[in-house]
Each structure stands twice: as structure tokens, then as C-alpha cells.
Amino acid sequence: MKKNTVIEDLHRTQETEKSKTYLESVKMQDVARECGVPAAQVYGVATFYTMFSTKPRGKHIIRICCNLACHLEGADSIVDALKGKLGVEMGGTSKDGEFTLEQSSCLGLCAEAPAMMIDGQTYGSLTPESVGKILDTVRKGA
């Protein structure tokens, strides 16, 4: 039995599944088996950390920060702009399956607030206007 590396294994599982940004049940069960821990425990881990999802998500994950530094710089208006552009509520996935909008805790981008991350890329000094362009760029895969 190898050492318990559930979190790293869940990360890898979630990112190596092409076009899937979430953890399927059967994949979590595989992690449980390989790490020698109860399946309920793996599920407990998968639902504890916000970067994991046990429900299907879009191709790209938007993590918008709403904590104090971003809040002071108008994060609410960015959230509204994203909701409007994507036609979703927080946690929802756009109809075209491209984007899931998630709230993130502070991303450490406070000097460029308001800020967000899409997949691994960070974006700062956002305005309701600039987010639209960013979404277009990401959608095009640039």
C-alpha cells in the first residue's frame, strides 16, 4: 500500500481527464482503492476543498475573488458582469459548457484588485468591460 496521497491524486485525476474538470464517482473510487482509504473518506476530501468538484463543470473554471481587497475595488460589479455575460448564477455553468463561475477565496492578487483566475491564468485590474474580452480570448483558446 502506498502512502496516502489522496489530494495530489485527486488533482491529477481532475486535470488529466480531458474536457472534464470534475471528479467522477468511479475515479474517486479508484483513488480510494489505490491509496487504501475508505471511499467515504475520499469523498469527504473531494467535497472539502474548493478546487475539486464532484459535479460536472464547464471546460474552463472561473475563480472570481470577492474577499475584502477585491470587494473594496468593486468585485461585485465584476461578478454581475460575469453572471450577465455567461447567463449563470454563482456556481453555474454556461449553456455552451465553456465556463463554470465559482467564487474563490483571496487569490493574493490584492494589489491588482479586482482579480480572478481562469484555469491557471490570473487576471487583475478587472472592469465590467474587460471581463468580456477576457472571456472571448479564453473561449478562442488563445
Partner 1 sequence: MPTSKSHTDKKNIPGGQNRLVLGSVGVINPESIDEYIAAKGYDALKKALSAMKPAQVIAEVKTSELRGRGGAGFPTAIKWAGAANEKGDVKYVICNADEGEPGTFKDRAIMEGDPHKLIEGMALAGYATGASKGYIYVRGEYTLSIARLAKAAADARAKGFLGANIQGSGFNFDLEVLRGAGAYICGEESALIESIEGKRGEPRLKPPYPVQKGLWQKPTVVNNVETLANIPAIVLNGGEWYRAIGVEGSRGTKVFCLMGDLNWKGVVEIPFGAPLSKIIKEMGGGVKKDRKLKGVILGGVSGSLLTAKELDTPVDFKSLALIESGPGSGAIIALDETRSIVDVVDNIAHFFMHESCGRCTPCRAGNEQIVRLIGKIRKGEGSHADLKKLEELGWNMYQTSFCPLGQTAPNILLQSLRKYRGEWEACLAGKKEKCAC
Partner 2 sequence: MFHVKINNKSHEVPKGTTILQACRHAGIKIPTLCYLEGVHAEGSCGVCVVEVKGSRTLQRSCITAVAEGMEIQTNTEAVRKARKINTELLLANHPTDCLVCDKNEYCTLRQLSSDLGIKNVSFERTHAERADKDETSPSLVRDPEKCILCRRCIAVCAEKQSVSAIGMTGRGAASAVSTFGDMGLGNAECANCGQCILVCPTGALMEKSEIDGVWKAINDPKKTVVVQTAPAVRVAIGEDFGLEPGTAWTGKMVAALRRLGFDKVFDTDFTADLTIMEEGTELITRLKTGGTLPMITSCSPGWIKFAEHFFPGVLAHLSTCKSPQQMFGAVAKTYYAEKLGVDPRDMVVVSIMPCVAKKFEARRPEMNGAFHYWQKKMGLKDSESFQDVDFVLSTREAAKMIKEAGLDFPALPNEEFDQPLGMSTGAAVIFGATGGVMEAALRTAYEVVTGKALASLDFKAVRGMDGIKTAEVDLAGTKLKVAVAHTLSNARKLLEEIRDGKSPYHFIEVMTCEGGCIGGGGQPFTTNLETRKKRASAIYKEDAGLPLRKSHDNPVVQTLYKEFLEKPLGEKSHHLLHTHYTKRGVHPGDVAHEKKEHKAHAHTH
Residue 17's binding partner, choosing from partner 1, partner 2, none, with beta-carbon cut-off 5 to 8 A by kind? none
| Cis peptide bond upstream of 38, omega within 30 | no
Give me the least distance between CB of 95 and partner 1, in Å please: 26
Task: Kindly state the number of chain residues that form the binding site for partner 1, as judged by CB under 8 A.
Answer: 44
Q: What is the pattern of x (binds partner 2, CB under 8 A) and - over residues 27-66?
A: -xxx-xx----xxxxxxx--xx-----x------------
How far apart, in whole angstroms, are the C-alpha atoms of residue 55 and residue 57? 6
Distant-in-sequence, close-in-space partners of 121: CB < 8 Å, separation ≥ 6? none
Helix H or strand E encompassing 7 = helix 6-16
What residue has cell string 480531458?
18
Residue 54 touching partner 1 (CB under 8 A): no
Residue 108's binding partner, choosing from partner 1, partner 2, none, with beta-carbon cut-off 5 to 8 A by kind? partner 1
Residue 79's binding partner, choosing from partner 1, partner 2, none, with beta-carbon cut-off 5 to 8 A by kind? none
Single out the residue of 131, 105, 104, 98 nearest to residue 19, CA to CA: 98
Residue 106 touching partner 1 (CB under 8 A): yes
